[in-house]
Every structure is written in C-alpha cells, then in structure tokens.
Chain A
Amino acid sequence: MRLFQRKNDLSQTSEVRFLNEPYLIINIIFAGVILLIFLYSGFFSPDKDSYPVICIHEKITGEPCVSCGLSHSFSLIVRGRIEEAYKWNTYGMRIFLFFALQLVMRVAFSYFYLKYPDTRKQLIIADCFGSGIIFFISFWPFMVSIFRSTFYV
C-alpha cells in the first residue's frame, strides 16, 4: 500500500515538474508538428498530385517560385525516391533534413534537459543558437529569394 502510494506521489510530482518546464512542452509540441509534416508528406501521393497547398506566386505570375514542388519533394523523399525529389525541388532535401534533424534534436535535448539539470541554461542557449544556425543554412535560398524579390524586382 505504501509502495503504491509512493509510486503515485512520484508520478504526480513528475507530472507537476513536467508542466512547470516550458522547454519540455515546447520540445514535445515541435516534435509533434514535425511528425505531422512527415505524416502529411506520407499521406499525399506524389503520383496523384492532390496537394491542398497552392502557390500564390504561381497563381498570379504563372511561373513557379523557389519553394514550388516542396510538398512533392518531401513525399518523394519519404518514399525513398531521392533523385526524383531533387528534380521537383533542389532545396527539398535540405529542408527535409532540417526537419529531421530538429526532430532528433527535440528528443535529444529533452533527454539531456531531464538528465543533467545543472546544465539546463547552457543547454537552452546551445539549442537556440544551434537551431538558429541550422535554420538559416537550410532556408537561406528562400530568404535570399524573398530579399531579392522585395528589393530588386
């Protein structure tokens, strides 16, 4: 009885502790969002071409933009058709790797956050900087495209 009560108390305290840690909640939600992106890529078939997202640029100008074919590319990468994915969008693999790496990072950083409570602050700073750098490397072509379109078109 005492053992059961102790176990119950432990689970309650861990739950409270978990809810009081915004970093862990953020990590879990981000991991969920990334998983949803992968599920979306797996759910929609590249052969049927029934993606719900429409490119506004293509609709207006009739010409594809830098990010056109990204959903196609993701779907093909999920199915292991890498060469075809490159044809659909050159930067598709880069973006996909960013999301995959982020998924791994969310799990890994959450684990280290719980295991080494003394280094939490350093861990969050490292996560912010690391994720920021990876984000800029992955999305750089898109950002350059937006910048050029805004100032040079």
Chain B
Amino acid sequence: MEEVKNNSGQNLGIAALITAVITFVLAVIPCVGLIAIIPGIIAIILAGVGLSHAARNNSPRGVLIAGLIIAVIASMISFSQIFVVGKIAQKADKWPSGLNNIINDVQDKVTKDLDDANVSIKIESNGDKVEIQTNSNKKENEQTLEDLEGGNKVKADSVNKKNETVPKKNETVPKKK
C-alpha cells in the first residue's frame, strides 16, 4: 500500500519532467514559443502536486525537482516571447504603442479646443489701434445662423435671452426722449 503511494508521487514527477522538456523544446522555437506556456504551467502544477505527495510519503524528489526547474525555465523563455512579439509588432507599426495613444489623445483635445476657441488680434501702428475679436464657437455660430435664417423659434428665443442687450437687425431700437 505504501509502495503505491510512493509511486503516485514518482509518476507525477515523470509526467512533469516529460512535459517540462517538451515545453523547453517548444519554447525555443519562435513560431510556437508562445503556445509553450500552456504545457509549462501544466508541468509546474504536476511537479508541485508531486512534491507535496513526496513530502507526505518521504519518497525521493529528484525527478520532481528536475521537472519543476526545467518547467520554470521553459515557461520563462516562453513568456519572454510575449515581449518579443510585442516589440516586433511595435517595430512594424501594427501595435499602437502608448506614445501613439497619447499623441492621438492630444490631437483630439486640440481639435476640440479649437472648435470653441476665442481669437483676438490687436494691431498697433503709429498710435492707431485696431482690435479684431472673433470666436469660433461652432455651436453658437450655427445657432446664430439659424436665428438669422429664422428657422427655429425656440432656439431664437434662447439666443435673444442670452443676448438681450444686442438688438436684432430688423428690430427698431426705441429712441430716448
């Protein structure tokens, strides 16, 4: 009965070692290196379970430790391939890097800000001063255009409320007596 218990740990060790060696061979082949992480994890689990069995039954651990070490190294090689693929993809401009994302974000923000920008130009020459003020507020401009065209009444009202002091073109301003 005791022998059976010892064998179970030993069998796990053999399985772990075989899986680990296969993982190692796969890990160093660039084409399939990434896939090797799956048998690598399996080998580590097998070796771990085998080691716990061996610790309980005081059975030899040589094969288990060998399997665990090879599995860990092979998994590390396999895992490193993720970085290799990432770097190659970055080089090939097919994987947007963090820097590219930041540039895109900044571009979007600048374009949005420009849509609502206020621009003022001041020119001074020989004591003469000319000041031009304009805003490129898209929404406001669109609304004003609609007002001028007399399209939407509700919107026109809201514009009037906003610019109560500014008289409209057609409106007559009451004269002060």
Stretch from A5-13, A40-48, A60-68 contacting the other chain: A60-68
Stretch from B15-23, B41-49, B156-164 contacting the other chain: B15-23
Query: Looking across the interface, which residue of chain A has its beta carbon closest to that of B66?
Result: A128
B14-32, CB under 8 A of A: which get 1 and which 0? 1001100110010011111
Q: How far is the CA of A37 from the CA of B34 in the complex (A)?
A: 19
Known interface pairs A22-B63, A150-B80, A150-B84; A60-B89 also in contact (CB < 8 Å): yes
Q: How far is the CA of A44 from the CA of B160 in the complex (A)?
A: 79
Query: Looking across the interface, which residue of chain B has its beta carbon closest to that of A60?
Result: B89
| Tally of A-B Cβ pairs under 8 angstroms | 81
- Do residues B28 and A142 form an inter-chain contact, with CB atoms below 8 A? yes
Check: A146 CB closer than 8 A to any chain B CB: yes
Main secondary structure of the interface of A (DSSP, over half): helix
B17 to chain A, nearest CB (A): 6
Check: A25 CB closer than 8 A to any chain B CB: yes
Check: A104 CB closer than 8 A to any chain B CB: no
Known interface pairs A26-B18, A30-B21, A146-B84; A60-B95 also in contact (CB < 8 Å): yes
Known interface pairs A25-B14, A30-B21; A70-B31 also in contact (CB < 8 Å): yes
- List, in ascending order, chain A residues with CB within 8 A of B173's CB: none
- List, in ascending order, chain A residues with CB within 8 A of B31's CB: 53, 55-58, 65, 67-68, 70
- List, in ascending order, chain A residues with CB within 8 A of B92's CB: 60-63
- List, in ascending order, chain B residues with CB within 8 A of A22's CB: 10, 13-14, 17, 63
Q: How far is the CA of A70 from the CA of B21 in the complex (A)?
A: 19
Q: A26-B18, A142-B30 are in contact. List 14 more A-B contacts (CB 8 A).
A: A22-B13, A22-B17, A25-B14, A53-B32, A56-B85, A57-B85, A58-B31, A61-B88, A65-B31, A67-B30, A67-B31, A139-B28, A146-B84, A153-B88
Known interface pairs A60-B92, A62-B92; A149-B84 also in contact (CB < 8 Å): yes
Check: B87 CB closer than 8 A to any chain A CB: yes
Within 8 A of A (CB), among B91-132: 91-92, 94-95
Q: How far is the CA of A135 from the CA of B24 in the complex (A)?
A: 10
**Which of B13, B18, B80, B81 is A29 in contact with, Cβ under 8 Å?**
B18
Check: B77 CB closer than 8 A to any chain A CB: yes
Q: How far is the CA of A108 from the CA of B31 in the complex (A)?
A: 31
- Do residues A60 and B85 form an inter-chain contact, with CB atoms below 8 A? yes
**Which of A30, A60, A68, A135 is B94 in contact with, Cβ under 8 Å?**
A60
- Do residues A60 and B88 form an inter-chain contact, with CB atoms below 8 A? yes
Check: A14 CB closer than 8 A to any chain B CB: no
* Most chain A CB within a 10 A radius of its CB, from B30, B87, B88: B30
- Do residues A146 and B22 form an inter-chain contact, with CB atoms below 8 A? no
Q: How far is the CA of A146 from the CA of B32 in the complex (A)?
A: 12
